[in-house]
Amino acid sequence: MEHYDLCVIGGGPAGYAAAMRAVDLGQRVLLVERDRIGGTGIYNGALTSKTLWEIAQRVSSTNELMRTRGREPFRLSWEEVTKAMNEAAFERKYLYACHMQLLASRKAAPGEGSFHHERGSAHFLDPYTIMITRPDRAIHARADRTIIATGSRPRTLPGIEVDERTILTSDGIFGLEDFPKSIVIIGAGVIGCEFATIFSLLGSTRVHLIDRADRILPFEDADVSEVVSRNLERKGRGHAPSGQAGFDLGSGW
Over range 87-103, report the average pLDDT.
94
Closest CA to 189 of 214, 219, 169: 219
Model pTM score: 0.81
Cβ atoms of 246 and 200 closer than 8 Å: yes
Task: Using CA atoms of 194, 200, 204, 205 in order, give the dihedral in degrees to the nearest 10.
Answer: 80
Domains of the chain: 1-153 (3.50.50.60), 179-251 (3.50.50.60)
**Position 16 confidence tier, pLDDT thresholds 50, 70, 90:** very high
Total residues found in the chain within this entry: 253
Q: What is the pLDDT of residues 151-172, one digit of tens each?
A: 988 888 889 999 999 999 999 9
> What's the pLDDT score for residue 236?
62
Other C-beta atoms closer than 10 Å to the C-beta of 45 total 19
> What's the pLDDT score for residue 178?
95
Residue type, 31: L
> What's the pLDDT score for residue 94?
95
**Position 44 confidence tier, pLDDT thresholds 50, 70, 90:** confident
Other C-beta atoms closer than 10 Å to the C-beta of 237 total 12
Q: What is the pLDDT of residues 190-235, one digit of tens each?
A: 999 999 999 989 989 999 999 888 889 988 999 999 998 888 877 6
